[in-house]
Structure 1
């Protein structure tokens, strides 16, 4: 992991939690990757979040991101959409850009503590810098509320990118387990 990228990720998370009272801390892992994320509501329906991903799945990858999302949450669903600024430091190239993404989860009526859904972010080539040409991140999760403020989940994540060399690379992919602490 590049020290500059790691420090940028830590700074992103520090900025996120200093600008907003934390409303969630999320950690997920698998055999080759770990991600830490924090988010907070800056005003009703607007969340600011940051994340740091370290992966050895397809070479080395450190990815940091900060996002601003409009969100809505009810007893039956959670949705959100907004921009995300990401930076990637990988064996395949460096750079990042401004993308647009969203998430959606539905609570199952038969099992009210269980929700299923996913998220996606796309970063087009017009909004990138350095070696990064364009990229995407897609994920799916099944979440279970084990306590009032704790969700445990299983899921799948795929982070893909194309760098200036023209090769499409899967930088990180695979199943994961995680926990989300809600405040």
Structure 2
């Protein structure tokens, strides 16, 4: 599928997320770009402290790889920190193999007291082999970011990400995306 088709799929996912979350709940849209990859995510609170989200990474790091995810997280954001912990379904569609599974993980950012518009942190999600399907044995996505709040509703950030999967076929373990990205997140 081409990048435009993947973007359309991600837009559909985001529409479903926002319809489920209702107009009164907090939500966000996130887009980041790297030398070999593009990622789009959307999330919305379905009730106070519980967020439903989804996204897609399209990477040409080594070969074509598309990684979709849907997640349900417990979240908390205040002036000191922004954290979320929960479950994520990740689906890998790659030149090396296809498959998906349920994993656990989360994210965490702390706001610097000396510079309250700056936050530092990261995220990680791991899908173990016990709960996978298709060619997937296990997989993960991890990243670190430095964010700056340009306005109360717009964050810009720079970061590093790595996504990898181990497939139950002749290809074995493969890094599917690795590198720096720059992004923007709109909150409402």
**Structure 1 gaps, min length 5:** none
Q: Given the alignment of the two structures, is residue 122 of structure 1 paired with residue 126 of structure 2, yes or no?
A: yes
Provide the secondary structure at the position in 2 that maps to 1:47. strand
2:35 counterpart SS class: coil
Structure 1 distance, partners of 2:91, 2:9, is 9
* 1:180 lines up with 2:185 in the alignment: yes
Number of residue-to-residue matches in the alignment: 182
What residue in structure 1 maps to residue 104 of structure 2? 100
- TM-score, length-normalised on structure 1? 0.94
Distance 1:37 1:158 in 2: 16
Match of 2:37?
Answer: 33
Unaligned 5+ segments in structure 2 are: none
What secondary structure sits across from 1:14 in the alignment? helix
Per the normalisation by structure 2, the TM-score is 0.91
Q: CA RMSD in A?
A: 1.7
Partner residue, 1:84 = 88
Q: CA offset at residue 9 of structure 1?
A: 4.6
Matches within 5 A, 1:18-167: 18-21=19-22, 23-165=27-169, 167=172
Which stretches of structure 1, 4 residues or longer, exceed 2 Å deviation after superposition? 5-15
For the pair 1:16 / 2:17, whether they are aligned, the reply is yes
Q: Is the 1:38–1:50 Cα contact (8 Å) retained in structure 2?
A: yes
